[in-house]
Amino acid sequence: MLFWYGLIDTLLPFEWTRHIFMKNALLGIFFVTPIFGILGTMVVNNKMAFFSDSLGHSALTGIAIGVIFGMSNPLWSMLLFSIVLSIAILIVKKAKTASTDTIIGVFSSTAVALGIVILSRNGGFNKYSVYLIGDLLSISPKDLSILGIVLLTVILLWIFVFNKLLLVSVNQSLASSRGIRVNFYEYLFTMLMAVIVTISIQWVGILIISSLLILPAASARNIARNMRQYHFYAVSVALVSGLSGLILSYYWGTATGATIVLVSAVLFMITFTIKLRYN
Amino acid sequence: MRKRGFNQNTQCTGCTCGLCCTQIIDFGVTRSRLEILKNVNLHIHCGDLTALIGPNGAGKSTLLKAVLGEIPHTGKLIFLEANNERTGRPIIGYVPQKLDFDSSSPLSVLDLFAAAHSQMPVWFLRSKRTRQYVRESLKQVQAEHLINRRLGALSGGELQRVLLAFALDPIPHLLLLDEPVSGIDHSGLNLFYQTVSTLRRKYDLSIILISHDLNMVAGYADRVAFMNNKTIEICGTPREVFGNKKVVETFGTGWTAETLGKRRLDTE
């Protein structure tokens, strides 16, 4: 870490980098935004925007379950619950009895309501509001190592199974005709998303986590013509908005996560204009 | 080794021919307690084009989905080499009726092929070899100029040819065409069928074609399987099947004699 702090002091000798928490947050941005940029490409491909939103919301119930069992850090109960929820959604979705939107809506609102009911017992909901908007500035070196591992996992998965995931996302019949185990990859990706969204929630916040997944990929889609450009633009948009969002939030005194989302929303509008003009 | 099958065997069951073949044995599909398919038997020789016809809801698409392994089914699907040695599950190529995909996706034709062909993740660097390989694949269907286009930006006919090339890599034991040219203009349609014909001869492909275009079926199919009431009711040469009373009743009359007269079948 000391090396990292020294490096920032040398390369970025600005006012906002003087604080240790800002240095940590900066490193956090360098880990979190590529994760979300990369994952987001596939989330948008699979039309899972709403799904990722509900995963975020379900974290409330995860926290609540953790509280019931007296855990000091509810991360494990959150992880467990989000994985169970995502599998449940997939199973019901595969039964094809109702439209996916409806199913996700039902699950998500149930999870949110259940979480709020449990957490608001005895009027103590306020202490959990940090999960709603997240606090990137509270990130610790230990948290950073977790994020580093997550980033590494995503990159490894993207190297080894991306092609399969892509084919499954294009068309399931086509993928299964080529001997790809569609169900396996669907569950794999869904669970991966559940884990990553849940881990990141305490820093990014329930309310905006899906925007962080969707906006970079959506912006990239406006201007990309193939998968390489798509990933390049998505990660760039995520990094640029993460970095500028962090700096802006420092000077404005605003919540970091939300500021980042605002910047990526602006980038989306810019790329959308480019698309309208040149396509 | 695969041999060309000049199949005069009008039976749809039993493999005593000594040629390589794909067999669908006693397929049945039941979903939510509703029987959709039962006792479906089909025997396809290499080089044969078998057309699947029948009224809507007869279970044609369900059969293809079961063959693809996409929906659970009873019965067996096996591929036999020329010496009748079992080789297990055949390699299947599939051209869907209308590829249901996100047309706004930044997915180029090259991305699609590279994802299936190479281990290198397509968001990363691409080797020259892969590009050359894909170009060769596309050349077979006169589509090499489409290599860098977005899949969603292709016309209907172009997309079907690209999908045909995609289904032929690797060369399948069994090629499934599910109404591959519905809604495509006349020239696109002819180009598609000519390409299929050429490639079929080149690779000795076994093909199952679902089609409502009975003229095309009469012109190109070696055998016709008529599906009705959840199973294959009649199976034989186009002449036999189109002469059958039941088939005539289902599709109406008036066209069979003349179209059979100008049969373009390449094996005859």
| Interval A90-105 mean pLDDT | 81
Q: Which residue of B has its CA nearest to A43?
A: B105
| Interval A20-48 mean pLDDT | 90
Asked if residue B72 has pLDDT above 50, the reply is: yes
Nearest neighbour of A163 by CB, restricted to B93, B121, B166: B121
pLDDT at residue B264, rounded to an integer:
46
Measured distance CA(B248)–CA(B255) in Å, rounded: 10
Question: Sorting pLDDT into bands at 50, 70 and 90, what band is B87?
Answer: low
CA distance B86 to chain A (A): 19
CB-based contact (8 Å) between B166 and chain A? Answer: yes
Contact B63, B117 (CB under 8 A): no
More confident of the two residues A276 and A18: A276
CA distances from B260 to A82, A146, B48, B50, B211 (A): 61, 71, 18, 16, 16
Nearest neighbour of B123 by CB, restricted to A162, A177, A221: A162
How many Å separate Cα B252 from the centre of its chain? 25
| Interval B211-229 mean pLDDT | 83
User: Could you report the per-residue pLDDT of B143-167, keeping only the tens digit for each?
Assistant: 889 999 999 899 888 898 899 999 9
CA distances from A244 to A23, A30, A37, A252, A258 (A): 14, 12, 15, 12, 12
What is the identity of the amino acid at B85?
Answer: E
Measured distance CA(A204)–CA(A131) in Å, rounded: 8
User: Could you report the per-residue pLDDT of B176-200, keeping only the tens digit for each?
Assistant: 988 887 777 888 788 888 888 888 8
User: Could you report the per-residue pLDDT of A169-179, keeping only the tens digit for each?
Assistant: 998 888 888 88
Q: Which residue of A has its CA nearest to B117?
A: A163
Asked if residue A97 has pLDDT above 50, the reply is: yes
pLDDT at residue B135, rounded to an integer:
92
More confident of the two residues B84 and A253: A253
CA distances from A7 to A18, A30, B212 (A): 12, 14, 69
What percentage of chain B reaches a pLDDT higher than 70?
A: 84
Dihedral, B130, B132, B137, B143 alpha carbons, nearest 10: 120
pLDDT at residue A176, rounded to an integer:
85
ipTM > 0.90, yes or no: no
Nearest neighbour of A166 by CB, restricted to B91, B104, B115: B115
pLDDT at residue A15, rounded to an integer:
78
Residue B265's SS3 state is coil
Query: Helices H, strands E: what count in chain A?
Result: 13, 0
pLDDT at residue B190, rounded to an integer:
81
Question: Sorting pLDDT into bands at 50, 70 and 90, what band is B5?
Answer: very low
Question: Sorting pLDDT into bands at 50, 70 and 90, what band is B254?
Answer: very low
Q: Which residue has the tokens 């500035």?
A: A137
CA distance A104 to chain B (A): 20
User: Could you report the per-residue pLDDT of A222-254, keeping only the tens digit for each?
Assistant: 999 999 999 999 999 999 999 999 999 999 988
Residue A22's SS3 state is helix
> Which domains, from first to last, does chain A contain?
2-278 (1.10.3470.10)
Q: Check A227 against B102: CB less than 8 A apart.
A: no
CA distance B222 to chain A (A): 24
pLDDT at residue B82, rounded to an integer:
64
Nearest neighbour of A159 by CB, restricted to B118, B121, B176: B121
Asked if residue A66 has pLDDT above 60, the reply is: yes
Asked if residue B61 has pLDDT above 90, the reply is: no
Measured distance CA(A220)–CA(A43) in Å, rounded: 13
Measured distance CA(B171)–CA(A15) in Å, rounded: 63
Asked if residue B226 has pLDDT above 60, the reply is: yes
Interface test with B, best of A45, A160, A170, A186 (most B CBs within 10 A): A170
Asked if residue B6 has pLDDT above 70, the reply is: no
Average pLDDT, chain A: 88
Interfacial B residues in 12-71 facing A (CB < 8 Å): 65, 68-70
pLDDT at residue B253, rounded to an integer:
54
Q: Check A158 against B123: CB less than 8 A apart.
A: yes
pLDDT at residue B7, rounded to an integer:
40
Q: Which residue of B has its CA nearest to A96?
A: B32
How many Å separate Cα A237 from the centre of its chain? 14
Q: Which residue has the tokens 């855990």?
A: A71
Asked if residue A272 has pLDDT above 60, the reply is: yes
Asked if residue A262 has pLDDT above 90, the reply is: yes
Least confident of A185-194, B76-85, B109-118, B138-147: B76-85
When mean pLDDT is compared over A216-230, B11-25, B26-40, B233-247, the highest value belongs to A216-230
Q: Check A230 against B102: CB less than 8 A apart.
A: no
Q: Check B96 against A174: CB less than 8 A apart.
A: yes
